[in-house]
Structure 1
Amino acid sequence: MKDKKTSKGQLLMKKFLVYFTLWLFIGSWALNTSEAIAAEINDLLSPVSKESADEIVKVRTVWSQDRAHPESQVILAVIFDVPKDFHINADQSQIITVKDLVLIPTKVQMIKVPEGITVESPRFPQADQLKAEYADQPLMVFSGRTVIYLAMKIDETVKPGQLSVKLQINYQACDKKTCYMPKKTIVKESFEVVELNQKSVEINKEIFKGYYAAQADVTAKKVAFDLFGLTFSLNVSFWWGKILLMLTAAMGGVMLNFTPCVLPIIPIKIMSLSTTAEDRKRCIILGLTMSFGVLVFWLALGTMVALISGFTAANQLFQYPVVTILIGGIIAVMAVGMWGQFSFRLPDFIYMINPNQNSLMGSFGLGILTAILSTPCTAPFMGAAAAWAATQNPVTTITTFGFIGSGMALPYLILSASPGLVKKMPKTGPASELIKQVMGLFMLAAAAYFVGSGLSVLLSKPPDPPETLYWWVVMAFCAAAGGWLVYRTVRIAARRRQTVFFVALGIIVIALSFIGGSRLTDRGPINWINYTPERFNEAVAQQKIIVLDFTAEWCLNCKALEHGVLNTRKIINLFASSDIAPIKVDITGNNPSGKEKLKQVGSLTIPLLVVYSSDKRIVFKSDFYTADQIVDAVRKAREASR
């Protein structure tokens, strides 16, 4: 009896072990093939025809560029050519659940990516609604040519060479009556990474228009402004946000008149208006004409940004030495005209911009020249507005630049409409001539600046800093203006008070000229590292806090911030810390890696200061900043690095 119980127990144990082993096998197989099982179930629940989807839908891939650079982005487009009367199901996020029906969503997934490449989530188009016979409610589908974008960010550590990626594409083709067998395709693609000095060309532009339009829409919903710590942002996804941005751009245009680039022109216009102040109508017409010249230039600039590939910022004009040298020559001719030296006949266009003539063409030309002179400088609020505009459609881009021009033109309209403001300027006599002569010398200083910065662009060899000796020529003309003011004041001034005031003013100008020449040609107290991608990567590898200062020899705002903020004792001591790498990105000349870096940090204009934490996160970015802001940014970077 006992033996029977034992054998029965052993039999039960054997059965249990067999069933348990079988259960483990089935469970393991099910876990390892869950996608296959799900696909089988989906196939059973879908109204499937035995015809294969790849016989209906053609799938191909194309790149956005012929080759890519380290620390840049390249985009792969997956193109579905879906014939008429057919469709493929939408992606998982847009597909609608239908009772008693399982629909296979379209899916694009990277399954093999080289080290140093980061792939963003696929960007699917907006799906359409469609009524099919096999569903009791509308479906979400893709039809016609459907493009799905995969953006890939290339780290700066990626070495030049051929890189390969592998992606998996899943989709199911259907018509209005039935669906076809789901399709899974494995695609291998490769692209070339090259050095920054090798050109990369955009290709398949028509295919990628949709991506860039969507990207602009995503990134441009909020535009941030920062003025010495005063920060605010505008949501431009609403109509009122766009209007506020346009008004902010106009405010930036007004402020352009108070930058070092434009200030030399304002006294010239005031003197020009003073001669016609008694004739209010004539004064207003001249003011309107000059304002129109300013506006025409900014509209033309906006048109260039909107329509010319690769032209994205106003100050790009000054990266072409021919432009700066030509402008310097025109200013020099105008300066000579201020001294009344046109005793010989010059080309007619010179007389058109001679401010002494008070002609309509002269005022119009002066307006254009004033706007041209403003482009090396970026006023508060203007840089962010212009950068946003460059990513928008042509109408929005041109309109934004038009508002900048309108703001810049506004002070001249106010002056022309209020002749009383300029009536006190001497119109004739020795005092009037002295003002013209002093302003003529200052204009010669401006001419020397533009010619010198143009030559600096020609002679610069990045990453080495550009030549700065031309500043001594600029300051020599400024000192001459101060000296001439002292000499002529002593000769012609009738009152002692006037003599003392203008002589003191002249001496101050002479002193500031020598101080300015010394400071502008000095490399400064900060041990800057001249930017190259390799030096930046070295600082990253050393886990240092990186301060990037974007500058150029023709950027007067950059000079002002450098000497007024960066060269203060507080910042000098801060940047001397061993955990900080101060790196200067000078885009004066042909510096493609520097310009690429400016683009990567999301800006088009300079000046710009960017602070990175040791893990390469941007903790601060501003075009107008204070010393306290920099100190606070470094503190945040240190905290983020812990």
Structure 2
Amino acid sequence: MLPCHANRVFVLKIYKVTTALKAYLLLLGCSILTSQVAFSQGFLETESEFDNQEQHLSVSLVSDSKTVVPGQSFWLAVRLEMKDGWHVYWENPGGAGAKPEIEWNLPEGFTAGAVQWPVPDRHVLQGLTNYVYEGVVHLMVEILPPAEIQNSPVELKAIVEWTVCSDEKCTFGDGEVSIVLPVGQDAEVEESVASAFKETRSRWPISSSRLTAKALHDGKSLLLDFKLEQEQPSVKAIKTSSKLSLKTLLLAFLGGAVLNLMPCVFPVIGLKIMGFVTQAGEDRRNIILHGLVYTLGVLVSFWILATILILLRQGGEELGWGFQLQDPRFVFGLATLLLVFALNLSGLFEFGTSFMGAGSKLTAKSGLGGSFFSGTFATVMSTPCAAPFLAPALGAALVLPMVSSLLVFTSMALGLALPYLALSFFPKLLETLPKPGSWMETFKQFMAFPLYGTIMFLLWTLAGQVGEWKLLTILLMMVIVALSCWIYGHWPRKRLAKVVSVFLLVSAATWALPDAPYSNPIRVDWKDAYFYSKLPLVDPSGSQTIIHSQNGGTILQLPLSEYFSEELEDANGRLEGVLHLVEKRTTAPKVRDFTLDIPLKAVSSDRLDKFLKNAKNSLGSNLKDTQNGLPWQSWSAETVQRYLDDGNPVFVDFTARWCATCQVNKRVALSSGRMVARFAELGVIPLKADWTKKGPVIARALSEHGRAAVPFNVIYLPDGGEPIVLPEVLTEGIVLNALAKAEQRMAKLTQPQSP
């Protein structure tokens, strides 16, 4: 049986009339109900019981100032202290209830400002959501006394009317509260009250220029589109007064030199040194020129990377050395290039021995170009590696002024170029190298294996940046790249071989190219985002759905109240309220509350649908081929039950990597932006029961449903009824139909029960 909270006919618009009328209507409503049926959960207390209110609520008037200074404002507060299990209401009570009313009776010349309402809590009872305060709340008001006060002390009074409720019953009350303060020339602080006021102010919503928002409605739905600009460090904050030291330059040089021994760089340097063997009999000036051009390639590449890194950091980006490896497209391109290079070293095909600038068959100009390219390539290959001495030098480089920072990177580049440069200027060192022979081919093929290892590392990096399907696509593309190289090296008709191999290489790379990096949109930036409307324009008991748009902003889809059209007239074309945001962090989530007072624009349904569709499409395009399409969590029976107890539907995908049908289902039916938005709209929690490795727990769960194989997809609902079982082969339509059935059953849970 429903308590009085559910009698919305009598209480939804109570805030607009006097408290006496509120009491009358609620009492009348409960009287009608109690005449028909006995309440199983409670009743509304009658006037005869008002004399027992003290056990539910105490009211007093407090000030953080011990004295009143003429012409100097101070703060008063109506202090409401509720018994455990009881609550009073915010200025918009929500689904039912009435806010406290304060009528001031102040000495002549005193004026009172508006009540400052702390952000309330949400109290849900049988599907009805109210905005309440529990425990102790201070409704603070700024008081401005006149410049001259004739009498001292002064008495400030207020008549307070309230509704206080528990989950079983409600009661009403009113009374006069007062406080007497002496008049003085210096303000004295009441520490205990000031401390309470400070805590209350921390719960006030704030106004921020960093928050921009707009609101659209078509009379059926309301969209709140907002964006909170994050605080960015300024250019001055990044610059520092630290001075460039000789020690920093030395560490950078040593770190660059040690990079030559890293597996990322060693194959490139090794092949360049091998090139000296073939140049041993050439003119010394030509050898020195090759060394200088190689060094120039290293320097130019370091300068470009360093400049980009410094400028991005000064723009507020949190980047470090190797930042380009955070872009899956770069990692993909580098892995592909290295595969071609490694296959060349393994002898699968030949570009000519000048591929790394080591050959002598090409012209001098081509050879110098190869040396410059080798320097560039060595720089790119060095970015995934971290060598001893390098960390402190890089740390200093990223906080020094730009010129000093470039000097540190220049020192690092010279260290990287040191081996080649030393051999160029000291040809006698070449005498220590073996003479040309068959060992060179063996050495070249051996150098392919460090590259294969680097490719594996890059693919492992990609596995953390792209989804399973995209990773599989990239691996298949690698096979096609190897096939194109084999065609290039082994087909007898060389011209046709070139055309076919280039076509395969370009087609495969285009097919497998990852999407641009993005901030994961389905990873909700806000653990909680909720809008408290000051007027009952929004149904407090409806679901407020978070949708992330492409530009980094957030769209909050709000349910309209039954009386939206009527309340819209009082709103004067404005949407006013509090936007409550809780950052999604693993520890210590930060709560942010912002005041909103923005135009509420009426648009056609077509335009609103188009706006929402574009937002969802942009979400879908960002989610394309990423592992974060749906925010999958690991399955366990306890996790399922926990979410069901919280009132969430749960979608469980029993799957395995080796199950081809499972992977097709995920790709075809569970990865689109439309599906992501639908899951978010209904609050469905997706859980993945991964049976890739043999285990009895999942096998037992499958057997409970009469299954012994995957795929198996099922939707559990908190109504305790039978779960919705989906077929083995899924399409997007099948899943959407199942979600529609789940929505219908969820709707029944929130419908008022008949008496």
- Name the structure where helix makes up a greater proportion of residues: 1
State if a TM-score over 0.5 links the two structures: no
Task: Compute the TM-score of the two structures, normalised by the length of structure 2.
Answer: 0.31
